[in-house]
Structure 1
Amino acid sequence: MNDVLARVSEATGVPADLLGGYLSVLAATVATGRLPSRAEVDDMRACGALAAERGIPLRLLADACLHAAELTEGGAFSAVRRSMAAFAEGYEEAQLTAIRKEEDGRREFVADLLQGRADARRAEHFGLRLAEAYMATVVKAGEPLTGGDPLIRRIEQALVARFGSHNILVAVRDGLLVCVSPASLGAAGGEFVHHVRAALTTWRAGVGRPHSGPGGIVTSYQEAAGAIELGERLGLRPQVLKAADLLVFPVLLRDRGAIVDLVTTVLAPLTKARGGPEALLETLEAVFAVQGNHTAAARRLGISTRTITYRLERIRRLTGFSPTDPTQRFTLETAVLGARLLEWPEEPLP
């Protein structure tokens, strides 16, 4: 038996300690016709798991089993079949256990990463080099997503197949689907959104700016999530919002007192209009969105061009600001944006 064990190990490269019990099973089958016992099957499952942990390919383990059967006298292939099944079962269980541990570690790492608690060594294990610039693309679905959603796995597999496992990190954070990718891979974020668009009916995406360093991913993630929030508060139409295009809004929010003063001074007179200020605010938003084209604004609102003209004149009379004057237009547009940020007129001004 030792001679057979040595020959099989030399021919296949499978360590002898993984095959000792298997050869005993073959010998017993040849001598008595007895199939492997439950204890022997458990031992071979353990050897299969050990082979997986040592990184021995399953095909080599199978080849060693078949080669040993060739060298053993008599008909032992019924024992071979049962033994190979035990080896493979143990091997696969070890692989699944390793995958679960990796996924658990990945989820824990992502949670720490997006809270600014990840260190460089852990990041490198998952393929992230924190000295590089990274950007986050965040998606908010109609219903909050969870880490166990199969959609997440499908999207991640598609992105990894194109860009490589060391360039893409897909996870769920606070019900949002997050994709982190190097800034040098500009197409990754767009590909991520492409798969989201194909899988979800209701969604909105935010794209953060590239940032480097341990806190860079956190900053980009916060910018992307903030872009989604701003889009909802302001009723912006695009489904994909870039934080770089919305930089004026954080500036406005930093001085809340100034924005309250602007909205009060410029727009508060609209409350005197019949039916309240909402229709006039919507008119201003539509006109500003199409660069002052009354026909296009009327089409957006589903009203006549004459109604647009009437409302703009009403706004000029009530506020003293004309949307056709360049300087006054800027003041009006900023005030309207400020009103949406303050959720006025639904919420009263301080």
Structure 2
Amino acid sequence: MRTGGVKVRTAALALIVTLAVAACGRGGREDETADDTAAQTPTEAPAFNSPTLQTIKRRGRLNCGVHEGLVGFAYTDNRGQWRGFDADFCRALAAAVLGDADAVRFVPLTTSQRFDALRSGRVDVLWRETSWTLSREAQEGIRFAGINYYDGQGFLVRRSLNLSSAAELNGARVCVQQASTSEPNVADWFRARGIAYTPVVKANEEAAREAYAREDCDAFSADISALAAARTLLTNPEQHAILPDVISKEPLGPAVKRGDEAWTSIVRWTLNGLILAEELGVTRQNVGTMAEESRDPSVRRLLGAEGDLGPMLGLSKDWMKDAIEAEGNYGEIFARNVGADSPLDLARGLNAQWSQRPAGLIYGLPIR
């Protein structure tokens, strides 16, 4: 009898364990099914709302951070008016956001000031020869909205040195700007090739250029666009040459404060609209006619003749028409300030449209 009792109790215990396991299995499947159902439940997209845009509209002015003085990109003319590639993009953005290209306050910033000015809200957008890098997005509290100039770092030298390559700068003194990508780029390039050099570090581009002019260094290293600008300011520009070596990638573009995704999108799509306008043949001169007469759906959407793309961003229907009327399309802004129609006379190169021959990297995202 005692043996039989043990068997009965053992069998009962085994049955309880089996039922419990089965129940757990059913419960797990039910939970998984519930999770799958929840995952498939449609949710509404969050509202597109930009606190920065609202602040700009209340203020009635865009605050745009620019270089304190770089020929071709951001500088004041003899009447005190801001000119240049970056300055024109600031005006185009003001026109897109406020309908008035003159509703912009230019805030000149040094290299060390620029990111703090964004974080503190002193400027709404930074359009100042700033390279898009991972560390800057991760550590500086900013977001890049796009690329409007593909650049690279190079070397400016005196023609009298008869150099054909930067590899011949063994033992040279090289002027670079402090607190920029230029300083570590030069160090990496020379170290990777086992070439000795002496860095001459200066507080800003102007100081580095002046040191080079005084022959305190044998070469000046910076973004090639900045070197082209610096050369125009030297006493005898023709006596200086930019070496063919490009030692880094420097994708330059507008940056905004992290935390306002909608404002990032507004800056991004304004830039892309100017790029797309060149691709579609929309210019400062014909934009009005194109808005009224074009039958191309891409042109009509770009200029607000159909669709409500501007209002999706919290802007007017003809936001891009206003931007293009202000300063022209990307190609016009490039040619006038840094390209063939400017003292810098920089080739389009990588900054040519993707559809041109030879093709560049400028590619407007579809506005639809």
**TM-score > 0.5, shorter chain as reference:** no
- Structure number having the greater helix percentage: 1
Judging by fraction of residues, say which structure has more strand.
2
Q: Which has the larger radius of gyration?
A: 1
TM-score (norm 2): 0.21
Q: Which has the higher contact order (CA 8 A, sep 6+)?
A: 2
